[in-house]
Amino acid sequence: MHKRFIFGLFGALALTTATFADSSVQGTTLLEQISEAIAELAERSKPATVSIKCTICAQGQEYSNPFDMFGDDFFKRFFGQQNPQGQQQQTSGGSGFLVSPDGYIVTNNHVIKDATQVTVTLDDGREFQATVKGSDSRTDLAVIKIDTDNLPYLNFGDSDKLRAGDLVFALGNPFGLEGTITKGIVSAKGRQDLGIATYEDFIQTDAPINPGNSGGPLLNVRGEVIGVNTAIFSRSGGYMGIGLAIPSKMVQPVIDQIMNNGSVKRAYLGIVLQPIDKELSDAMNLDKADGVLISDVVKGSPAANAGIQQGDIILQYNGKPVKNVTKFRNDIAMMNPGQSIQLKIMRNGKPMTLTVELGCQNDGEVISAELTQKLGIELENLTPEWASRLGYSSDVNGIVISKVKQGSPAAMAGLRPSFLITGVAVDWNNQKPVKNIGEFDAALQELGDKKYIILIVRHQNFQRYYTIKLN
């Protein structure tokens, strides 16, 4: 019995050792297979990833640090500044990737913005001067082209199929180190309201990315582009584990329009939305805080023509539930002008369905509407009734601030209802007087992407400049 036990024990040990050895071999084989797959992905993808260098004329302009997006050290753009203040030219750089064999390249708008010369370096070392085919500041995307053919290129994947935890790979030129690939996972999807672009639906990843990666591709395990690397969250200017990429679902329709038409046209509904929080839901006696509230309808807009009213609650569009203001706004903007959609709304406690034919965004109108909404003000022309109520004589011109949203940038700057906007300072040598909302809109359009808006405001017998910082 004792001998049999000893024999059985050594037999078990021998079997365990053999099993462990076999498991170790299998584990090594699996690691080798994973390593081989990643190496093959890099070999296929790197030739289609390019380095972009831009020359920007800066004569007469105040030097600005492109990493300083908001005057603090949180979000950092991915392109480096190499020339000191006072020189006439500045050099910036980033990444991009080929999407066709005849030289079309996708990158970020902020990489090539204001560039007088764009140079593309391929993975094989060849250099080309590129032409900017078009850009879209609202999604921070651009398309450039080089004159050659038979080039390797990348295909797009479906970013909607991504899940948190999926493996992803970032390619680009961090700190000018060309042909760099890093690995990580999808940390989250649908990151919005970050103030980086007008339309945001970012993929968050922990794949190491740094300044210079901007405009490069984010790939899935099949080597398909599921995002365009755009920004990082950083307190140091370098990698801290949070990178943001524009999802391919948003990228594809934008670059298709740029490649085909040279510009982007977006659908337009003509409503101002706000989320329904618990307090608002309770005040309106709603069963639950579903949908988004229409706080205003633009006169003559597609929404107004379809019978949509202020106070309506949008519950669904084309059968899809609406739970988020930003996502609904993005989805509408990515549709084609002229397309019809069905909106299920709640009005006075009763559900109803309306069909709306979407219009086309007018850039000027949308820019001014977005700015006034960001400022947190509502405006009205100075009618004789308003002038009489505020005590102004007939020779006074301007537009009246009728409402100021609590906690808004306008409120923080000290603006109040009944104040009169008499002008907009585009810059110190270009101060535009405004007599009506149309002139105010035109002045706002000249601001471009400035971080600040300077309003010339009158209150009773005093007039002063108000500086308001925008995201």
- By annotation, the residues acting in catalysis are 110, 140, 214
The one-letter amino acid code at 107 reads T
CA distances in angstroms from 401 to 72, 236, 366, listed in the order given: 30, 41, 19
Task: List, in order, residues 6 or more apart from 458 with CB less than 8 Å away.
Answer: 396, 398, 419, 420, 421, 422
Cα four-point dihedral sign 252, 181, 186, 239: negative
| Count of other CB atoms within 10 angstroms of residue 199 | 20
CA dihedral 253, 255, 260, 266 (to 10 degrees): 50
Tokens, residue 15? 């079997």
Alpha carbon 77 to its chain centroid, in Å, reads 12
Task: List, in order, residues 6 or more apart from 181 with CB less than 8 Å away.
Answer: 42, 45, 46, 169, 170, 171
Burial of residue 34 (CB within 10 Å: 0-12, 13-18, 19+) is exposed
Task: List, in order, residues 6 or more apart from 42 with CB less than 8 Å away.
Answer: 169, 171, 181
d(CA 286, CA 280): 9
3-class SS string, 369-398: HHHHHHHCEEEEECCHHHHHHHCCCCCCCC
Tokens, residue 360? 């086309």
CA dihedral 408, 412, 416, 417 (to 10 degrees): 0
Task: List, in order, residues 6 or more apart from 160 with CB less than 8 Å away.
Answer: 247, 249
Q: 3-state DSSP helix/strand/coil percent for the chain, to nearest 5? A: 25, 35, 40
Residue 422, phi then psi, degrees to nearest 5? -105, -10
Q: For the chain, how many residues are written?
A: 471
Tokens 């609406």: give the residue.
322
d(CA 208, CA 223): 17
Tokens, residue 169? 């790979």
